[in-house]
């Protein structure tokens, strides 16, 4: 269908403005829990993860720190989402009926990194990170750190369904484990002066487990009226991408290095084509981006499974 220049210009402005406005209004979660890394190649290597240079008394010659043999590589992936807009609807001034679809396309493209991030996080029980162990594992070891676990269990009296008190105890166990982690130089990763930086850990749970977690970590007294101890003033967040109600995660999101990595090669872009193409009866709204999610600082995230 032949369209006038004015019709095409009006439709193009409307379609792209609706999309751009929806993208600007979005507030994705992934920067909260991942270190955002700019990539300039098809993949990036993270040999530096886990290496903690320390001070020593200067006796004799200097001893220079070298990176250990980590060979963690994260390859970028190419993503797209597209939508057809009928030229007949453009000619009949009915483009507005696509408004919700265009907004949904923008939301899908903008929030997809969150979905990818939580899929990556859940896969951390069976996917290796920089030290060759699974991201959530019972025997992380790097340099002089000794064997350390960020994959904990807690026995609930009723099996895999915890009470509020049991969830609180399991959370305190995870938080205490996090504070005790050591770097490859054998020194504590969390110094006394960092206490306030871990003052607001993020606890992510399934929607099913959320009521129990919220009750457990917002209570000030137990069922007998006794004060309860809740370490670190945590924030609880239900995540629909998490589905196993026997598990929850405690994350330290402070500082520049986060538990996960979001590697950005090419940011989200969009293009509208087909305005002058007589071979097609549709306008084509197309989006694309290149990025991937991977594993960063395992010691800043602890998984607990109720048994």
Residue 157 pLDDT greater than 60, yes or no: yes
Averaged pLDDT for residues 126-130: 93
Per-residue pLDDT, averaged over 246-257, amounts to 93
- What is the average pLDDT score of the chain? 88
Tokens 């969830």 locate to 167
pLDDT for the residue numbered 65: 58
pLDDT at residue number 276: 72
% of the chain residues with pLDDT over 70? 90
Classify each residue of 3-18 as buried b or exposed e, where b means 16 or more C-beta atoms within 10 Å of its C-beta. beeebbeebbebbeeb
**Mean per-residue pLDDT for 194-209?**
81
For residue 207, pLDDT over 60 is answered with yes
Residue 152 has pLDDT above 70, yes or no: yes
Q: What is the dihedral of CA 298, 301, 306, 307, to 10 degrees?
A: 10
Which has the higher per-residue pLDDT, 232 or 235? 235
Task: Indicate whether 262 pLDDT > 70.
Answer: yes
Residues 264-307 have pLDDT tens digits of 999 999 999 877 777 778 889 999 999 999 999 999 999 999 99
With beta carbons less than 8 A apart as the criterion, state whether 125 and 276 touch.
no
88 pLDDT band, cuts 50/70/90, is confident
For residue 84, give the nearest of 286, 266, 257, 275 by alpha carbon. 286
The single residue listed with the structure tokens 């369904």 is 161
């Amino acid at each position: 269908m032949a369209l006038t220049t004015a019709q095409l210009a009006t439709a193009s402005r409307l379609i792209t403005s609706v999309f751009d406005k929806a993208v600007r209004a979005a507030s994705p979660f992934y920067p909260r829990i991942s270190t955002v890394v700019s990539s300039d190649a098809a993949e990036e290597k993270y040999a530096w993860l886990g290496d903690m240079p320390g001070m020593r008394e200067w006796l004799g010659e200097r001893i220079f720190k070298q990176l250990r043999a980590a060979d963690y590589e994260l390859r970028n992936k190419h993503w797209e989402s597209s939508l057809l807009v009928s030229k007949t609807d453009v000619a009949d001034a009915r483009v507005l009926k696509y408004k919700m679809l265009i907004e949904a396309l923008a939301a899908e493209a903008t929030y997809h990194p969150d979905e990818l991030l939580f899929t990556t996080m859940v896969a951390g029980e069976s996917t290796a990170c920089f030290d060759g162990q699974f991201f959530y594992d019972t025997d992380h070891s790097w340099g002089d750190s000794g064997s350390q676990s960020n994959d904990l269990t807690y026995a609930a009296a009723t099996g895999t369904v915890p009470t509020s008190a049991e969830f609180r105890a399991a959370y305190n166990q995870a938080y205490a484990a996090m504070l005790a982690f050591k770097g490859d130089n054998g020194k504590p990763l969390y110094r006394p002066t960092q206490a306030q930086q871990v003052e607001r850990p993020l606890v992510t749970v399934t929607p099913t487990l959320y009521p129990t977690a919220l009750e457990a970590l917002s209570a000030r007294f137990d069922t007998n009226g006794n004060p309860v101890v809740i370490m670190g003033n945590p924030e609880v967040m239900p995540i629909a991408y998490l589905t196993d109600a026997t598990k929850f995660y405690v994350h330290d999101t402070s500082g520049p290095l986060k538990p996960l990595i979001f590697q950005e090669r090419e940011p989200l872009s969009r293009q509208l084509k087909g305005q002058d193409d007589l071979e097609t009866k549709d306008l084509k709204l197309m989006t694309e981006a290149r990025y991937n999610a991977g594993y960063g600082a395992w010691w800043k995230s602890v998984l607990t499974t109720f048994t």
